Amino acid sequence: MREEEFEVAIDGGVLRGHVGGAGPPALLLHGGAAVPDYLEPLAAELAPLLTTYRYTQRGTPPSSGGPPYSIEAHVEDAVAVLDAFEIPAAWAVGHSWGGHLALHLAVAHQERLLGVVCIDPVGAFRDIFPEQDANLRRGLAREAIARLDEIEARRLEGEVTEAELVERFAIVWPQYFFQRDRVPPSPEHVGVEASMDVNRSLAEHLERQTLVRGLPDVRVPVLFVHGKRDPTPPRSSIETAKLIPGARVELIPDCGHFPWLERPGEVARHVAITVQ
């Protein structure tokens, strides 16, 4: 797929990304949070269906932009991309944390959306996190679990380094995949301040039940696609979808957190039905 690079100015910096494909416009929102955009293979899969605009979110190179790294700031950044390309409304296609962000975009700016596609998202309820954490630790060596605890403690204290967050990803990364022969390299960079602040903002909104209160008013098409063997439990999608009138959930068997890598074509197949 041929893509062109773009830059969009935001307060205090610039978002850098790529546009390509054909069809209605779609923002691709990566997970992480605060890792470089990794959605090029997903953009290629969706290229016959959608014109995708994917970018690395603020606070992580090659993008820039300072704090706040809040959900509100990320929502406004997404709108800034639409404005820069003079797009009245687009699909929001988000993965993991990016799926959570897409749902906030629907609550805050429904008028700018054609619809939402959430792929293995962090949903509207905070009670999935203990189960997710247990799934990510299952089968790990005792030393690896101890190291995860040490890094998490430093993160909560605000003293964690980029090297430690990269190390954490490297430890848990294979756990996100059901098909271990399809595991790509783990992220090599993490925006430290952006990562801590996004997680703090996410926790605050889950406590306030922003999505629980707002999603019942969403009236655009919403699709959830979730791997059945994802450490982020499928009920994250199933229970969140119940909040949204008409939302669909498609579960992909023998698949973890990255369905376009483990089951190529499955995401596009379900998206094709939704965007018609």
With a pLDDT cut of 70, the percent of the chain lying above it is: 100
d(CA 257, CA 245): 25
Return d(Cα 151, Cα 148) in angstroms, integer. 5
**Residue 193: its H or E element:** helix 192-208
Separation between Cα atoms, residue 59 and residue 201, nearest integer Å: 15
Q: Express as a percent the part of the chain with pLDDT over 90.
A: 95
CA angle, corner 142, sides to 137 and 144, nearest 5?
Answer: 65
Q: Between β-strands 113-119 and 248-252, what pairing exists: parallel, antiparallel or unpaired?
A: unpaired
- Residues 238, 262: Cα–Cα separation, whole Å: 21
pLDDT of residue 239: 98
pLDDT in tens, 185-219: 999 999 999 999 999 999 999 999 999 999 999 99
pLDDT tens digits, one per residue of 77-128: 999 999 999 999 999 999 999 999 999 999 999 999 999 999 999 999 999 9
pLDDT at 32: 93
Q: Report how far apart, in Å, the C-alpha atoms of 201 and of each of 72, 160, 271 are.
A: 9, 18, 29
Residue 199 CA to its chain's centroid (Å) = 13
Q: How confident is the model at residue 133 (pLDDT cuts 50, 70, 90)?
A: very high
Mean pLDDT within 127-141: 96
pLDDT at 140: 97
In this prediction, residue 109 carries a pLDDT of: 98
pLDDT at 88: 98
Amino acid at 103: L
- Give CA–CA dist 64/49, Å, rounded: 30
What is residue 219's predicted lDDT score, i.e. its pLDDT? 97
pLDDT at 253 over 80: yes
Higher-scoring residue by pLDDT: 148, 276: 148
Closest CA to 272 of 219, 220, 218, 223: 223
Give yes or no for a contact between 95 and 33, defined as CB atoms under 8 angstroms apart: no
Q: How many other C-beta atoms are found inside a 10 Å radius of the C-beta of residue 258?
A: 26
pLDDT in the model for residue 1: 80
pLDDT at 58: 97
State the CB neighbour count (10 A cutoff) for residue 221. 17
Name the average pLDDT for the chain: 97
- Which alpha helices (H) appear in the chain, and where do they start and end? 40-46, 71-84, 97-108, 128-137, 142-156, 162-172, 192-208, 210-214, 235-241, 259-262, 266-275
* 183 pLDDT higher than 90: yes
Tokens 């498609």 found at: 250
Per-residue pLDDT at 156: 87
